Structure 1
Amino acid sequence: MGNRPVRHPPVLIIEDTISLRLVYRAIAMAAGHPVAVAGSAAEGLAQFHATAPNIVLLDVVLPDGDGLALMRAMLAERPETLVIVLTAHGSVNRAIEAMRAGAQDFLVKPVDEARLTAALANAANAPQRTLPAPAGPQANLFIGSSEPMQRIHGKIESVAKSMATVFITGESGTGKELAALGIHAASPRANGPFIALNCGAIPQDLLESEVFGHMKGSFTGALSDKPGAAQAADGGTLFLDEICEMALPLQTKLLRFLQTSTIVPVGATKPRKVNVRIVCATNRDPMDAVRRGQFREDLFYRLFVVPIHMPPLRDRGDDVIEIAETALARFAQEEGRHFDGLSPEVRALFRRLPWPGNVRQLLNVIRNIAVLHMGGLVTPGMLPESLFLQGIDGPTPTATDMPLHDIPTGLPPNLLARPLAEIERLVIEAVLTRHGGSVPKAARTLEVSPSTLYRKLEGWGVKT
C-alpha cells in the first residue's frame, strides 16, 4: 500500500474584494486545503455554519458588519476554530485587538503568497485549543442606536427563543439577512446551520432542486445526489430571501413542507423528515403580492406568524451618521488612509437624503470616498456626483413599475450610436440606480426575471 495523501483541514475565506478572494482561494487550494468562500459577514457566518471549517481567513473590514464582531461570534460557537485576520497596512491596533480577542495570526495587506502559505501551515499544525467564550456571544453586527433599531433588537431577542416562523419585510439594503442571522444566533439553534437562499437569484427551473435537493439522474446534469437547502439546514435555520419571487408551483411544495416537516427531493420517491426553523424576507409588500395572485394566501398566513419590518435608513435619525463614520474608519484602515470624520455640511446632507438604497447605498458612498481620496475631513466635494442626483425633498422611489422614459438620466446623449450590448448595460445600470441597487425592483421595471439580471451582473463582474 502506498502512502495516503495528507488531509489538510478545510479553510473558510471571508473577503469582500472578489479579486483578493480568488487569489487567497488559489493559494489555499494549492496548499491542499478544501476551501469555501464568502464576500460578507452574513454570508461568512452562513458558510461557517454550513462547512464547519478548522481555519478561517477573515478580513476585518466587511461591507455589512465588523469582522472582529464576526470572529467573536464564530469563536463563541466553536472556540477551537483558528482565525487568521487580514488587516490594512498600518492598522497595528486592529491586529492587536484581534489577537487579544482570540485570533491565531494576522496578516497585513497586501498579503505575500509565502506568508499566507506559512500562516495556513502553522494553523494546520497548531495543537487543538479551547478558548473561553467571549462575552456576549450574540455579536451585534447592526450599527445604530436609534429608537426604531432598539425596537428591532428587542423583537429579535423575544422571538429568537421560540420556533415561530418569522417574516422580515423592508426595503432593499435595510439588513434583512442580518436580522435573520441575529434571530438564529440568539436562538437555541445557534450551534446548528444557518442556510440562506435567495429565491430571486436562482432560475425558477432550478429552484426546486436548490430548496429540496435532487437524486442522481433525476434530470439532465444531475450527476450525483445533492441535498437541498432544507436538508442542509436540518437542526438549524433556513432563510428564504425574496420569498415573493418564488413560483406558484414551488409555493405549493413549500406549504406542504411547512405542514409536514418532510421534503421529497427531485427524483425521490420517499419523503425525508427534517427539523428546520423558517425565516423569510421580502422587499415587496407581501399582501399586495397575495392580492395580485402572485403569492398563495394560505402560504402567506403560514409564514406571517411574527412579522418584523426593517426601517429604512431615512427613518433612523442619526444612525446614518453613526454608520457612515464607523464605515469610514473601517474603509480607511483597509486603504491605509486617515480621515477626520464628516464635515457639518456632509452630516446635514446625509440626514436629508432619502437613501433609496439604504445602508448598502451609504456603504458604497463611503467606500467611494475612502478609495478616491487621501484623507482629511470629508466635504461635499468629495462625495460621488450620483448622490446629488437624488431629490432630497422629493418622494422616495417605490417598487411600482415606471415607464422607461422616466428612468433617471446618466445615460449618454449619443445612446443610439452605441452597440446594443452597451445600451443594454447602460439601461440596466440606470434602472438599478433608480431603485437603489435592488435587483428585484429593477427586474419588475424591465419586465425580466431577477435571475436574468443577476446573471448579467455576474457576467459584468458587478457585485450585488
Structure 2
Amino acid sequence: MRPKVLLVEDSTSLAVLYKQYVKDEPFDLFHVETGREAIAFIERNVPQLIILDLKLPDMSGEDILDWIAEHQVPTAVVIATAHGSVDIAVSLIQKGAKDFLEKPIKADRLKTSIALHLKQAKLEHLVEDIEAKFDRNRFHGFLGSCLPMQAVYKIIDSVAPTSASVFINGESGTGKEVCAEAIHQESQRNKKPFIAINCGAIPKDLMESEVFGHVKGAFTGATADRKGAASLANGGTLFLDELCEMDLEMQKKLLRFLQTGTFTPLGATKEMKVDVRIICATNRDPLKEVEEGRFREDLYYRVHVVPIEMPALRERGNDIAILANHFLKMYAKEDNKKFSGINRDAEALLKKYNWPGNVRQLQNIIRNIVVLNDEAKLSVSHLPEQILKQSASARSNHTPAATIAAREVIAPTINEQPIPTELESSPQAIEAAPTANKPQTIRPMWQIEREAIQNAIDYCDGNVLNAAVLLELSPSTVYRKKQAWESEDETTAS
C-alpha cells in the first residue's frame, strides 16, 4: 500500500503546484484547505505525514498540531511557513513537529523532505511491529515499553519458572526490588513469601541474625528465639539487595548456605534446612568489587547465574513521560488535586533531564509538584530548579559537533599560521620567512562555507534544521544558501 501524505494548504494554486512537483513520487498526496477538513481526514484515515500550513482560514496550524498531540495521532508533521514565521515554526518543533519548509517550497526540497520523513516513519513502524510481538506497557510493578525494559520483561519470563539464581545490576532507584518481586510473582513460588533484606542498611554485627535468626541468649538483648529471613522465606524467595555491602565473613557463611541449603541460627547447635530461591542485587560493579577484594569471587560465580541489567531512567526514552503521567494522576487522585496531564514543553524537559536518582527521583519530584500546586496541567513553571538549570546549561555549554567538523574543514584549507608579533611582521621578517610555510592556495570563503554546511547536513543525516542548530545558524539561512547552491548547480548543468 502506498504511503499517504496530507497537504493542509488554503491556497489552491500552491496545492496544484505541489501536486505537480510530486506526481511521479511513490506516495499519494491528498489536499485539504481548512483545519476542520484536516482533522476530519485524519480521523478517517491517518496519513504517515502531514504538511501543515501555519495560517488557515478557520484555525492555526499550531491548533492542529496540539490536537494531534492531544489525541496521540501516530503521524509526522512538517510545518510549511512563510519567511517571517520561521521562529514560530522552530517553536512548533519543540511541540512535536518534525521539520519545517520555508515558502516558497521548491520541488527538490519538497520531495527530499517527504521522502526523508516517510522513510523514518517506515523504520519506526518496523520497530513497533517488532515490539508488538512482546510489547507490554505494564508488567507486574513496572511501567514502560521501551526496548531495554522489554528485554528485562523477556528475561523475567524465561528465568522465573526455573530455580536459577538471578543477579540484578543497576543504579539506585531503577527498580531492582520491583524486578525481584516480578520474578517471584511469575514463578511457581508466588504463593509463598517474598522476603527482602537490604544488606547496606543492616549493621555488620546484626547481619547474621537478620539472615539466619538467633536463639534466646545468643547475645546481649536476645531475649527470645527469632527467625531469620532464610526461615521466613522457606518455600519462597529471598531477595538480598545491595549484596556487595555485605562483609566478607558473612559472605562466607552465605556461600555455604547457598551451596547446602542449610544454616545454623546464631547461638544454636542444630542445623536447619530450607528451600529458598535467592535473588541478589547491587548498584556497584560486582567484578570490580571482586578485583578489589571486597566481594568473594566464589560467591560471585554462585549467585551470578542469570544477570539482569536494569536500565537507568535516562536511557528509557518515552517511558519517562509514561511514568511521570502515571505518578501525576496517581497522586492527584490521592490528594484530590486537578492535575490530569503534562504540557508538551514540560514533558520535553523531563525527557532531557539526566535523572541521577532514576525512577525514585522522578516519583518524588512529581509528588512534590502535586502537593504544592493544583492546576489542570503540569507546566514548565512547576519543574524544580535542577531540571531547568540542566536544560539551560546544556544549551549554553554545548559544543556543536558539526561546528568542530566545520573548523576541521576550514583549518587545513587556510593552513593557519601563528599571528606574527610586531617584530615578526617587519618587511625583513616577512622576506626571511620560509616560503614552504605559506599556503599553496587560498580558497574562496563561499566554498569553505558550503563545504562546512554540507558536512553538517551529512552529519545530521539530511536534517537541515538539526544542522543549523549545530552550526549555530538560522535554519532559514541554511535553507536559503542550500537552495541557492542547488539552483546554481542546475544552471551550470543545463
Instruction: Tell me the residue number matched to 1:387.
Output: 387
Work out whether residues 146 and 316 of structure 1, in 8 Å CA contact, stay in contact via their aligned partners in 2. yes
In structure 2, what residue type is equivalent to 1:154? K
Listed as ranges, the matches of 1:237-276 within 5 Å are: 237-276=237-276
Question: What is the CA-CA distance between 1:338 and the residue it aligns to?
Answer: 1.3
Q: Which has the higher contact order (CA 8 A, sep 6+)?
A: 1
Deviation (angstroms), 1:199: 0.3
1:115 match: none
Q: Does residue 316 of structure 1 match 2:316?
A: yes
* Structure 2 alignment gaps of length 5 or more: 1-135, 396-494
Q: Let me know the Cα RMSD of the aligned residues.
A: 1.7
Distance 2:179 2:359 in 1: 13
Q: 1:393 to 1:155 in 2, by over 3 A?
A: farther
State the shift of 1:242 in Å.
Answer: 0.5
Whether the aligned pair in 2 keeps the contact of 1:143 and 1:323 (CA below 8 Å) is: yes
Distance 2:340 2:267 in 1: 60
1:324-350 per-position Cα deviation (integer Å, ceiling 9, x unaligned): 011101110111111241111111111
Q: How does 1:8-27 map to 2 (within 5 A)?
A: none
Q: Is 2:165–2:304's contact at 8 Å kept on the other side of the alignment? A: yes
Distance 2:241 2:311 in 1: 17
Q: Which amino acid aligns with 2:246?
A: M
**1:180: which partner in 2?**
180
* Counterpart contact for 1:368–1:384, Cα < 8 Å: no
**Hey, what does 2:54 align to over in structure 1?**
none
The one-letter code sitting in structure 1 at the alignment partner of 2:152 is I
TM-score normalized with structure 2 length: 0.51
Report the alpha carbon displacement of residue 393 of structure 1 after superposing the two structures with TM. 4.6
Q: Deviations over 1:66-109 (max 9, x none)?
A: xxxxxxxxxxxxxxxxxxxxxxxxxxxxxxxxxxxxxxxxxxxx
Alignment deviations for residues 287-339 of structure 1 (CA, whole Å, 9 cap, x no partner): 11111100000000000000001000111110000000111011101111112
Matches of residues 174-323 of structure 1 in structure 2 within 5 Å?
A: 174-323=174-323
Distance 1:368 1:220, change over 3 A: same
Instruction: Say if 2:335 is the partner of 1:335.
Output: yes
CA distance, structure 2, for counterparts of residue 215 and residue 290 of structure 1? 33
Distance apart, 1:375 and its partner CA: 1.4
User: What are the superposed Cα offsets for residues 10-45 of structure 1, whole Å, 9 maximum, x if unpaired?
Assistant: xxxxxxxxxxxxxxxxxxxxxxxxxxxxxxxxxxxx
Instruction: Give, in whole Å, the separation in 2 of the partners of 1:278 and 1:190.
Output: 14
Q: Is the 8 A contact 1:144 1:319 kept in 2?
A: yes
CA distance in 2, matches of 1:386, 1:317: 19
Residue 349 (1) aligns with residue 349 (2): yes
1:376 Cα shift?
Answer: 2.0
State the one-letter code of the partner of 1:347. E
- 2:152, 2:310 within 8 Å by CA — same for their partners in 1? yes
Residue of structure 1 in register with 2:90 after alignment: none
> In 2, Cα distance between the equivalents of 1:338 and 1:274?
51
What is the distance in 1 between the residues matched to 2:394 and 2:294? 33
Mapped to 1, the partners of 2:293 and 2:388 lie a distance apart of 38
Taking the aligned partners of 2:390 and 2:290, their CA distance within structure 1 comes to 32
- Whole-Å Cα distance in 2 between the matches of residues 197 and 243 of structure 1? 9
How far did 1:284 drift?
0.6
Q: How does 1:76-91 map to 2 (within 5 A)?
A: none
Partner of 1:43: none
Q: Pairwise mapping of residues 2-13 of structure 1 onto structure 2 (< 5 A)?
A: none
Measured after TM superposition, the shift of residue 390 of structure 1 is 4.2
Is residue 349–residue 387 contact of structure 2 (8 Å, CA) maintained in 1? no
- The answer on whether the counterparts of 2:139 and 2:153 sit within 8 Å (CA) in structure 1 is no
Structure 1 unaligned spans of 5+? 1-135, 395-464
Query: What are the residue-to-residue correspondences of 1:366-405 with 2, within 5 Å?
Result: 366-390=366-390, 393=394
Matched, 1:146 2:146: yes
4+ aligned runs moved over 4 Å, structure 1: 389-394
Q: Which moved more, 1:377-386 or 1:304-313?
A: 377-386
Over the matched positions of the two proteins, sequence identity in percent amounts to: 55
Aligned-partner SS, 1:338: coil
Q: Which amino acid aligns with 1:322?
A: I
1:55-134 alignment, distance < 5 Å: none
SS at match of 2:339: strand
C-alpha contact (below 8 Å) 1:313/1:320 kept by paired residues? yes
Q: Displacement of 1:389 after TM fit?
A: 4.5
In 2, Cα distance between equivalents of 1:305 and 1:144: 26
TM-score normalised according to structure 1 size: 0.54
Check whether the contact 2:169–2:309 (CA below 8 A) recurs between aligned residues: yes
C-alpha contact (below 8 Å) 2:324/2:366 kept by paired residues:
yes
Equivalent in the alignment of 2:51: none
Counterpart-to-counterpart distance in 2, 1:204 and 1:168: 23
Q: Which has more radius of gyration?
A: 2
Letter in 1 for 2:349: L
Q: Match of 1:280, SS? A: strand
Post-superposition offset of 1:388: 3.3
- Superposition deviation, residue 141 in structure 1: 1.5
Residue aligning to 2:450 = none
- Equivalent residue pairs, number: 258
Q: CA deviation at 1:142?
A: 0.6
Distance 1:145 1:312 in 2: 14
Is the 8 Å Cα contact of residues 242 and 281 (structure 1) preserved in structure 2? Answer: yes
